[in-house]
């Protein structure tokens, strides 16, 4: 074609890309350290499953297929681009391996033609979503349409070049142009062009060739300057995802030492995010799937996970030069006065955005490229609470109660075991050799509605012959809400105290009815020396039913809509156990709302929301969730979390639906297992 022009094109475009990529790399390295080199085998498997096989995109049938074929098309057509670059120097180059009329060459030609068509169809699908349907969740910018246009034109240019090139090659060999199954698209175009003169064919070949090669390089340079940077960063971001339990918030290490050294607790500045968090910012596709399923967004709150990420990324890019300038000590006095060093909260992110989060992880479950949001929100809350002393007024009372009474409601520790009056439940101090510790939790100990479930669980364990004991007054709040609210110091104080007590009794196995306690004990206490086998009561009850140690026999004539707790489901993948218990009960008809399992809407209690007023919006989260459950026309709503039961009970009360009973799974099972259990004994309060 033209070696000189090709050389100039490659030098200029690749040089510009190298410059931009270098700046993006240096900006990435501004972030704090974050080890992501462990469990390589698991990372490779996850990358194949979620990056290459696009597992999460299967939730969106048409868009998912379109996205997958475009992604795979890029991989297949990358070879094509290399072949065309080489033809800028040697006109009939095929990089040796892909020569015509060889097995590899023919198979690749067919694969290439198939994906050219598929990529064109995929771009048309996205044009349809952007220009016709105009999905509200998407960022409908001109940039997106331009990128799609570039991809489509690249494909057209490729087949035009093929059609002209096949004709020119046939004429040079004195052969006729025929349809080839190995080059179906190219040969069809060749048949259409066969009556054109040599000059026209050469013109078409040049136009197709230079359009394709130039647009590939232009596209490459657009990527790091646009939201389509995810084309480059998505695979690394999936590979480098957090492989620690989903329910774990990383602790602030050496928190007392940081206080003494006057180091920032939590995230104040943009450069205090880890390099992996910055990679998250790079990788956001602005698809809006996170916000589409966010309970705060859906009820009209200020929080949108998509816009939270975009706002932080835009601020990062805005101050790129200052952040990567090696002549400035970013930790010195200059940094403190620099524009990029201002507080992110208020300066970039409205505090109301942070406090609207229920920590439900619906956003993270939907994100196809594994961006995390809850950890970033908690880190900014940590700064607000521990450095600026700013948080919703209602949390002040809950924090003070935790500090003085070891529970968020301020009840006396002497009352922790009163729920068990008359049940002969032993304290572990009286029965230190008990096989299982029943970790009761604060709500199940003090909340009148939750106590019903606590008693039901204890009775079921006794009925099955399980040896268990409770801590009673020695049990303190796990600190879950304090940590999610940003009060890390208080959480760590409680965690260390609880681990000391549990390890002192040599506890190995724990059952709990609260998913928040379950998650904290199982996934966050190991950071403080507490390594226990933790089982949610629904899992344990399902096992007892399966083993015949509990036999549901009394009919419970109820149509029950089941609500999944976020901390049980999305955090810990416990979906089947509570349903298995309900299905085993004669008379129960289990119904599912449209929004169920990992797409079930949060009840609105998580992320410390239980202990504060909900942020202003169009609707309360628990009201929206109650309506979704009532759409199944149940006469009872069941869950497996005391906070969910309380929020749904309030939702039913606010809607004056006294005909629908709020129940825990254990409540229903007890009615079926025990002889002559009065309904009011397990009825909702």
The H or E element containing residue 661 is: strand 661-664
Work out the average pLDDT over 23-30: 96
Residue 212 pLDDT exceeds 90: yes
Q: What is the pLDDT of residues 288-316, one digit of tens each?
A: 999 999 999 999 999 999 999 999 999 99
Residue 685 pLDDT exceeds 50: no
Query: Residue 326's pLDDT is what?
Result: 60
122: CB partners within 8 A, 6+ apart: 65, 66, 67, 69, 70, 73
Separation CA 49–CA 56 (nearest Å): 9
> Residue-wise over 150-183: b if at least 16 C-beta within 10 A, else e?
bbbebbebbbbbbbbbbbbeeeeeeeebeebebb
Going along the chain from its start, the domains and CATH numbers come out as 3-235 (1.20.950), 255-386 (1.10.1060), 404-544 (3.40.50), 551-682 (3.40.50)
Q: What is the pLDDT of residues 485-542, one digit of tens each?
A: 999 999 999 999 999 999 999 999 999 999 999 999 999 999 999 999 999 999 999 9
559 bridge partner residues: 589
Residue 13 pLDDT exceeds 80: yes
Q: Token pair of 317, please?
A: 């890019």
Confidence of residue 327 (pLDDT cuts 50, 70, 90): low
As a whole number of Å, the end-to-end CA separation of the chain is 81
- What is the three-class DSSP state of 597? helix
Give the range among 20-29, 146-155, 317-326, 559-568 with minimum mean pLDDT. 317-326
- Dihedral angle, C-alpha 522, 525, 530, 535, nearest 10 °: -20
661 bridge partner residues: 636
Confidence of residue 83 (pLDDT cuts 50, 70, 90): very high
Q: Token pair of 511, please?
A: 């059952």
Separation CA 268–CA 252 (nearest Å): 14
Separation CA 90–CA 77 (nearest Å): 19
Q: Exposed, middle or buried: residue 409 (CB in 10 Å: 0-12, 13-18, 19+)?
A: middle
| Average pLDDT over the chain, rounded to an integer | 93
Q: What is the pLDDT of residues 146-198, one digit of tens each?
A: 999 999 999 999 999 999 999 998 998 888 899 999 999 999 999 999 989 99
Query: Residue 335's pLDDT is what?
Result: 56
446: CB partners within 8 A, 6+ apart: 407, 409, 411, 415, 416
Separation CA 382–CA 362 (nearest Å): 21
Q: What does DSSP say about strands 558-562 and 509-512: parallel, antiparallel, or unpaired? A: unpaired
Q: What does DSSP say about strands 558-562 and 468-469: parallel, antiparallel, or unpaired? A: unpaired
Closest listed residue to residue 38, CA positions, set 274, 275, 243, 247: 243
Residue 676 pLDDT exceeds 60: no
Query: Residue 209's pLDDT is what?
Result: 95
Separation CA 518–CA 640 (nearest Å): 12
Separation CA 298–CA 308 (nearest Å): 15
Q: Are 228 and 147 in contact (CB under 8 A)?
A: yes
Supply angle C-alpha 556, 663, 394, rounded to 5.
175
663 bridge partner residues: 638
Confidence of residue 141 (pLDDT cuts 50, 70, 90): confident
Q: Are 341 and 287 in contact (CB under 8 A)?
A: no
Residue 258 pLDDT exceeds 80: yes
Separation CA 322–CA 320 (nearest Å): 6
Q: At 589, phi and psi to the nearest 5? A: -110, 110
Q: Are 210 and 85 in contact (CB under 8 A)?
A: no
Closest listed residue to residue 161, CA positions, set 207, 118, 198, 115: 207
The rounded Cα 64 to chain-centroid distance in angstroms is 17
- What is the three-class DSSP state of 93? coil
Query: Residue 227's pLDDT is what?
Result: 86
- Dihedral angle, C-alpha 129, 131, 135, 136, nearest 10 °: 160
Separation CA 595–CA 582 (nearest Å): 19
Rg over alpha carbons for the chain, rounded to the nearest Å, is: 30
- What is the three-class DSSP state of 471? coil
The string of DSSP codes covering 22-86 is HHHHHHHTTSBP----S-HHHHHHHIIIIIIS-GGGGGSHHHHHHHHHHHHHHHHHHHHHHHHHH
Residue 678 pLDDT exceeds 60: no
């Amino acid at each position: 074609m033209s070696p000189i022009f090709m050389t100039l094109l490659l030098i200029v475009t690749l040089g510009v890309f190298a410059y931009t990529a270098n700046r993006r790399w240096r900006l990435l390295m501004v972030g704090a350290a974050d080890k992501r080199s462990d469990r390589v085998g698991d990372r490779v498997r996850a990358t194949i499953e979620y990056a290459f096989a696009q597992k999460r995109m299967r939730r969106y049938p048409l868009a998912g297929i379109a996205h997958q074929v475009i992604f795979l098309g890029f991989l297949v057509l990358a070879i094509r681009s290399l072949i065309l670059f080489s033809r800028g120097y040697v006109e009939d180059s095929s990089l040796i391996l892909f020569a015509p009329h060889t097995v590899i060459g023919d198979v690749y030609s067919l694969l290439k033609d198939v994906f050219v068509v598929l990529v064109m169809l995929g771009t048309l699908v996205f044009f349809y979503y952007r220009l016709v349907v105009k999905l509200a969740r998407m960022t409908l910018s001109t940039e997106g349409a331009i990128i799609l246009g570039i991809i489509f034109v690249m494909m057209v240019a490729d087949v035009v070049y093929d059609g002209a090139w096949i004709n020119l090659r046939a004429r040079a060999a004195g052969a006729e142009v025929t349809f080839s199954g190995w080059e179906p698209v190219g040969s069809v175009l060749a048949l259409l062009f066969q009556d054109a003169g040599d000059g026209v064919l050469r013109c078409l070949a040049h136009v197709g060739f230079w359009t394709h090669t130039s647009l590939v390089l232009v596209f490459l340079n657009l990527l790091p300057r646009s939201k389509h940077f995810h084309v480059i960063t998505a695979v690394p971001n999936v590979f480098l995802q957090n492989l620690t339990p989903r329910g774990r918030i990383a602790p602030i290490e050496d928190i007392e030492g940081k206080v003494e050294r006057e180091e920032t607790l939590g995230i104040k500045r943009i450069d205090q995010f880890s390099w992996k968090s910055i990679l998250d910012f790079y990788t956001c596709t602005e698809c809006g799937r996170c916000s589409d399923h966010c309970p705060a967004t859906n009820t009209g709150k200020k929080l949108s996970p998509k816009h939270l990420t975009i706002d932080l990324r835009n601020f990062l890019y805005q101050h790129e030069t200052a952040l990567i300038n090696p002549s400035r000590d970013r930790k010195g006095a200059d940094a403190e006065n620099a524009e990029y060093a201002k507080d992110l909260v208020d300066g970039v992110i409205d505090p109301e955005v942070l406090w609207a989060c229920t920590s439900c992880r619906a956003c993270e479950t939907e994100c196809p490229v594994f961006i995390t949001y809850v950890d970033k929100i908690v880190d900014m809350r940590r700064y607000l609470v521990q450095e600026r002393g700013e948080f919703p007024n209602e949390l002040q009372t809950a924090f003070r109660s935790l500090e003085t009474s070891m529970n968020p409601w301020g009840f006396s520790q002497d009352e922790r075991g009163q729920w068990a009056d008359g049940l002969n439940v032993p304290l572990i101090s009286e029965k230190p050799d008990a096989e299982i510790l029943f970790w009761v939790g604060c709500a199940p100990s003090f909340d009148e509605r939750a106590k019903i479930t606590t008693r039901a669980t204890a009775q079921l364990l006794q009925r099955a012959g399980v040896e268990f004991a409770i801590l009673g007054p020695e049990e303190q709040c796990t600190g879950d809400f304090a940590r999610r609210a940003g009060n890390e110091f208080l959480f760590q104080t409680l965690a260390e105290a609880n681990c000391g007590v549990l390890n002192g009794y040599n506890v190995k196995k724990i059952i709990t009815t609260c998913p928040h306690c379950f998650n904290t004990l199982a996934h966050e206490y190991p950071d403080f020396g507490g390594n226990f086998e933790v089982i949610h009561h629904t899992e344990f009850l399902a096992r007892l039913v399966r083993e015949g140690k509990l036999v549901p026999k009394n009919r419970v004539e109820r149509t029950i809509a089941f609500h999944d707790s976020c901390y049980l489901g999305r955090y810990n993948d416990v979906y089947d156990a509570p349903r298995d218990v309900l299905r085993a009960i004669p008379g129960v008809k289990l119904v599912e709302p449209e929004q169920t399992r990992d797409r079930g809407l949060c009840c609105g209690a998580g992320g410390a929301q239980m202990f504060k007023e909900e942020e202003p919006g169009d609707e309360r989260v628990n009201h929206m969730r109650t309506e979704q459950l009532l759409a199944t026309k149940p006469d009872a709503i069941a869950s497996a979390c005391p906070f969910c039961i309380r929020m749904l009970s309030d939702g039913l009360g606010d809607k004056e639906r006294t005909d629908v009973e709020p129940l825990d799974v254990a409540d229903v099972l007890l009615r079926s297992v025990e002889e002559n259990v009065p309904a009011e004994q397990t009825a909702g309060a």
